[in-house]
Structure 1
Amino acid sequence: MTELPAYSVAQCFGPAPKQQFKFDRHYLLYSVSGGLRLEAEGTIWSQPPARAALITADKPIEISLPVKIECRSVLFAKAFVPAPPNVLSVFEMTPLARELVLECAQWSETEDTLSSYAQGLFGTLASVIWKLSETPSRLSMPAPRSAAVKRVLDLTEQSLTNPPTFEELAALVAMSPRTLARKLSDELGMTWRQCLQKLRVISAVEALSQTDLPVTEIAFAQGYQSLSAFNAAFRELTGKTPSSYRASFNTSQ
């Protein structure tokens, strides 16, 4: 059987711990509901609903599924499209991109061949997605390289409401605060305060997508003392208010 240039598939996964995957086709993963985390080339991405990830064929990535997800995937043959600009990119979907994904859903891997119309549609989708992937989401964190920095980030993320002090964290990894600050800067390009702020917003995005909790309750659960401070930090990273960001998860829009 001749290899299909592209095809679409509806999938449900998870919950599941972190696992490594490698695909033999360029892989568009569009989240319909639920959220996931992906990691490749030193970057950890959070992918909430109504967003997409573009994964380059033959490149290993790691995926963790804290909740069940529903997704619509499109797989492109390597000979049909150019390689994506990055091994992995998570990005916002436009209405046009969503409509193209839905239109392509009528062609699955069970097809014998694709008509010229179908190939043209998949090709148009690829052009749109490849361009969108050049502007990745800011919901990402550099992956730590050392065990000490990884432990600091893990401990911070586990206690966002009331995190340890920086001095306490330094003592827990047997470093002086100055040494730990230098390692964070070298490995992550951020101070610990900047890491804490970003982890709080990423956690808030995941809570917005995975629960029906009020925004105020989510803000306090991330350690913010006021809703205005939470809204300001959230808007700085995402460009939207928490309420409008939650509304953007609606894939029927």
Structure 2
Amino acid sequence: MRAHHVDVDRVTAPAFALADELTPGAGAWHAHRRHQLLFAAEGALRLELEEGVWLLPPRRAALIRARVAHRVDVDHAASLRTIYWAPRFAPAPRAPCVVLAVDALTREMILHAMRWRPREAARDASGRRFLRVLIEIAQRRAADPLPMHLPPPRSDELRRALSIVHARLGDPLRAADVARSAGMSERTMARRMEVELSLSFRDYLHAARMLRAMERLAVPGTRVAEVATELGFATPSAFTHAFARFAGETPRDYSARSSATAVHTAGSPTRRKTGYA
């Protein structure tokens, strides 16, 4: 489809929808005066905020509060469907960012909402009512958020330690070795992780591995056994057990759901972009 440029903060409609086809790359840091409901129709995205990084897996949604600076990072082509609304139109999300599960009905509502482009939404009262109901449903589902968040380190020492963790997720990492490589004692690193992240080294490492697994499995054709090996699991069954406990579904089911073909709404405005802004 042909690309469209829309300045979302200059649109007169109180709520409207846009579709984006994202190519690999990191988007620029930006903030909008509108709240957002983002739906990953295809592919996985990373949402980076000052408060940390959230993974947005395929067929899941995220809420981002207005005026919160963020950027979107994608490793592979992805499809994004977004609802924007002015603060006066509907309540704000309760947190700067949250990722939520999306059932079949809500997914179809999001895809259906793509017909209310900025121009159409400005003159269609029924569309505004539909978007308000959709936003309310998403807000309710956000009360039970998915564990897709890695909090950010604040100190340089812990930042160095976590960069080592992310570079070696498939290795049998020991806290003492990571701390030494980052120039601090294991006790100091443990204390910094508790104060800055509210997580232990083990819990952070496990969450980072699971989120990396979800990104990898969102790529069509990726095999579960291959990801298990990459992330240092002794067997695919051990990986399957750990993934199911974290994500609430098996890696095979997650991969199959992620690879399902999304519905593209005819006539919706589509912007082709590197990253997202």
Superposed pair shares fold, TM > 0.5 = yes
TM-score, length-scaled by structure 1 = 0.92
1:88 and 2:97 equivalent? yes
Q: CA deviation at 1:41?
A: 5.1
**Corresponding residue to 1:36 among 21, 34, 45:** 45
Q: Which residue of 1 aligns with 2:233?
A: 224
**Using the alignment, how far apart are the partners of 1:41 and 1:201 within structure 2?**
21
The alpha carbon displacement at 1:153 in A equals: 1.4
- For 1:167, give the aligned amino acid: A
Residue of structure 2 in register with 1:192 after alignment: 201
Secondary structure at the aligned position of 1:54 is classed as: strand
Cα separation, partners in 2 of 1:114 and 1:247, compared to 1, 3 Å? farther
| CA distances 1:175-228 after superposition (whole Å, capped 9, x unpaired) | 111111111122222221222211111111100002412111111111101122
Q: Which runs of 5+ in 1 are unaligned?
A: none
Contact 1:160 1:223 (C-alpha < 8 Å) held by counterparts: yes
Cα distance, 1:38–1:200 mapped onto 2, change above 3 Å: same
Q: Map residues 204-215 of structure 1 onto 2, 5 A cutoff.
A: 204-215=213-224
Name the structure 2 match of 1:247. 256
Secondary structure (helix, strand or coil) at the match of 2:225 reads helix
Given the alignment of the two structures, is residue 79 of structure 1 paired with residue 85 of structure 2, yes or no?
A: no
Structure 2 gaps of 5+ residues are 1-9, 264-277
TM-score (norm: length of structure 2): 0.84
Match of 2:139 in 1: 130
Name the amino acid aligned to 2:117: S
Partner amino acid, structure 1, of 2:36: Y
Higher relative contact order (CA 8 A, sep 6+): 2
Question: Is the Cα–Cα contact under 8 Å of residues 30 and 51 in structure 1 kept in the other structure?
Answer: yes
- Measure the CA separation in 1 of the matches of 2:208 and 2:247: 13
Is the aligned partner of 1:170 residue 2:179?
yes
CA RMSD after TM alignment: 2.0
Percent same amino acid among aligned pairs?
30
Does the C-alpha gap of structure 1 residues 112 and 167 become closer, same or farther in structure 2, counting only changes over 3 Å? closer
Q: Which residue of 2 aligns with 1:107?
A: 116
What CA deviation, in whole Å up to 9, does each residue of 1:11-50 have, x standing for no partner?
A: 1223223632201211111111122111335232111111
Name 1:160's counterpart in structure 2: 169
Counterparts of 2:94 and 2:11 in 1: how far apart (Å)? 27
Of 59, 63, 86, 1:50 maps to 59
Deviation at 1:164, TM superposition (A): 4.3
> 2:135 & 2:173 partners in 1: Cα distance?
45
Contact 1:42 1:144 in 2 (8 A): no
Partner secondary structure for residue 93 of structure 2: coil
What letter corresponds to residue 83 of structure 2 in structure 1? V
Given that 2:37 and 2:61 are in contact with CA atoms closer than 8 Å, whether structure 1 keeps it comes out as: yes
